[in-house]
Chains A and B, each alone.
Chain A
Amino acid sequence: MISALVMGIYILIIIIIAVFYRKWAESVESYIVAKRAQSPWWNGLALTATFTSAWGILGGPAICYTYGIVDFVSFIAWGAGVFLFIWYYVPKIRELGAKYGAVGLASFMELHYGKRYVGVIIGILSWYALLLYVVGQTKAIGIIFSQATGLDYATSVVLGKVIALIYLILAGLKAVIVVDVLMAFMMIAIWTTCLYLLFALGGGNILNTVQIMNSFDPKLLHPPGPPYASEPISLWTLGFITFFMWQFLPHTWQNYLALRSTKRTDIAIFAAIGPLSGALASWALMLGAAARVFLPYEVVPDVVMPEVFKYFLPSLFPLLLVGAFSATMSTADSSILAASTDLYHAFKGVIKPLEKRIGTVNVVRLIMLITAILLCYFAIFYMPEFMVYVMILGGLGFACALTGSTAIGIMWGKRDPLAAVASTILSLAISQILAVFWNVQWLVACFIGLVLSATIYIIIAIIRAH
């Protein structure tokens, strides 16, 4: 009952924010890239919320409860990737994006390479990859919302999407940024509580907690091998590189394009705040591993965080639900906006009559509605294992396939549209085939896709230049 009440108040605040910012839907520039005038503080907090899904509050601790703190790799290596990416790439993306008038990944690529077919292909692929990625988030929203309100899963999935659609449709990116900042603070509250518990479990001294964990099982803090069937050192190396590419995923391009300037002071603030959720989520992960020692009973890994809160801090359990809901929602909202913008861009020639009749912003809104309906359908009717599987490949696989066309094509003087499209499609297809039919470990498959994408781009660009 209290959980439902807290969730209700929280949702009401989100809707009030959306209504307040509804005037930001007056033009495409304002609706999709928030007038390219967002401060690095707000944008950084929104970005850090967008990057973290429920994995940072529920999934990651579950892995650490089972295998020790091995999943630190996912967050710290990724955070390091965010910092490097923001410092080296964001100024270039922001500068070129403003020059081109780009509003997302697909339109940026089309204008950067000067060929319509690049925008069409990248737009469709981007929508497809994000759809697969956001299905997992949609399922998580349904599960958390259902736990908080007591409603059945299907209704919870639909209600969760309706809430996201309300602020997305009303005010676009501006509402997403403001709501995501609110959500970032909710997540920070959860992670700070986790750190407090880590200290409290050792009688106020975290070194005691570490010592107790070490005496119970040394593998908890020094895991011999991660659950991804790989050595920690190789996972760090692969993770470090592949997670750098993760930042090229379309759902965060709006944040890069919306930054108010490319001044190095702004970029420094953006770079410091952007990866923060990676650092803070490690507190929840460490608590997940500590639960193996300090919880007096064994639990199913997936519910370790709810159980820890119920056992040690029952009064804060509603906060955990709101935090987990925020984590999933902040990823899903940006992804729906980015996917819909890219799909609109891919088909903007075909839907011109409709665009003339109802306006560009309404066309994007319509695509968002259709995307959300599809997401609800997949989240309710598909098998969970399949969801997790395609979510991983759909996100990181696509990011790695973009290596040639983004990481190299943006910085290198040789801009070749054919190389951009061929490197993306071929490397995506090969990495998915490797993972699905040859059972190659998913992270290795993504890494092979990354190397292939870069190689194909360079070879085609050099051959065609001569």
Chain B
Amino acid sequence: MTEQKTKKLLEHVLVIGGNFALLVIGIIEPWLLIFAAIITWLLLGTILYMMHRHEGG
């Protein structure tokens, strides 16, 4: 149960933190978003997929 909770928390940190990082990059050096956005979303999707790939339907 504790492991499940840690996993869930990590997910929230990744999803919200990853997207929030884009917002920060957008304020500091906006042009970097042309690479940062695609990398962030594909990477987040891949990590989340890997975290859940052993779960059943």
Contact = CB atoms under 8 A, between A and B. Distances in A.
A373 B47 CA distance: 46
Contacts of B33: 72, 76, 279, 282
Interface of A: 69, 72-73, 76-77, 79-80, 83-84, 87-88, 195, 198, 210, 221-223, 232-233, 236, 240, 261, 263-265, 267-269, 271-273, 275-276, 278-280, 282-283, 286
A263 B55 contact: yes
A221 B31 contact: yes
B23 A77 contact: yes
28 contacts: A69-B31, A77-B26, A79-B41, A84-B16, A87-B15, A87-B48, A88-B15, A223-B30, A236-B27, A263-B57, A264-B48, A264-B51, A265-B49, A269-B45, A269-B49, A271-B41, A272-B41, A272-B42, A272-B44, A272-B49, A273-B45, A275-B41, A279-B34, A279-B37, A279-B38, A279-B41, A282-B37, A286-B34
A268 B48 contact: yes
B16 A276 contact: no
A261 B15 CA distance: 20
Interface in B1-47: 15-16, 19, 22-23, 26-27, 30-31, 33-34, 37-38, 41-42, 44-46
Contacts of B52: 263-265, 268
Contacts of B22: 76, 80
Nearest to A285: B34
Contact of A84 (B19, B26, B34, B57): B19
Contacts of B38: 276, 279-280
A36 B47 CA distance: 26
Contacts, number: 90
Q: Is the interface of A mostly helix, strand, loop or mixed?
A: helix
State the 8 A-B residue pairs at the shortest beta-carbon distance, nearest first. Answer: A272-B45, A279-B37, A264-B52, A268-B48, A279-B38, A80-B19, A268-B49, A221-B31
Contacts of B31: 69, 210, 221, 286
Most buried by B among A73, A279, A282: A279
Interface of B: 15-16, 19, 22-23, 26-27, 30-31, 33-34, 37-38, 41-42, 44-46, 48-49, 51-53, 55, 57
Contact of B15 (A83, A198, A240, A276): A83
A77 B25 CA distance: 11
Nearest to B54: A265
Q: Is the interface of B mostly helix, strand, loop or mixed?
A: helix
A195 B31 CA distance: 12
A192 to B, nearest CB: 11
A76 B44 CA distance: 15
Contacts of B41: 79, 83, 271-272, 275-276, 279
Contact of A221 (B15, B30, B42, B44): B30
Most buried by A among B16, B41, B42, B45: B45
B26 A72 contact: yes
A58 to B, nearest CB: 18
Nearest to B55: A264
B32 to A, nearest CB: 9
Contacts of B26: 72-73, 76-77, 232, 236
A155 B34 CA distance: 38
Contacts of A276: 38, 41
Contacts of B48: 87, 264, 267-268, 271-272
A206 to B, nearest CB: 8
Nearest to B43: A272
A84 B14 CA distance: 11
Contacts of A261: 57
Contacts of A87: 15, 48
A69 B30 contact: yes
Contacts of A236: 23, 26-27
A274 B41 CA distance: 9
Contacts of B53: 265
B28 to A, nearest CB: 10
A238 B17 CA distance: 18
A155 B56 CA distance: 53
Most buried by B among A87, A222, A236: A87
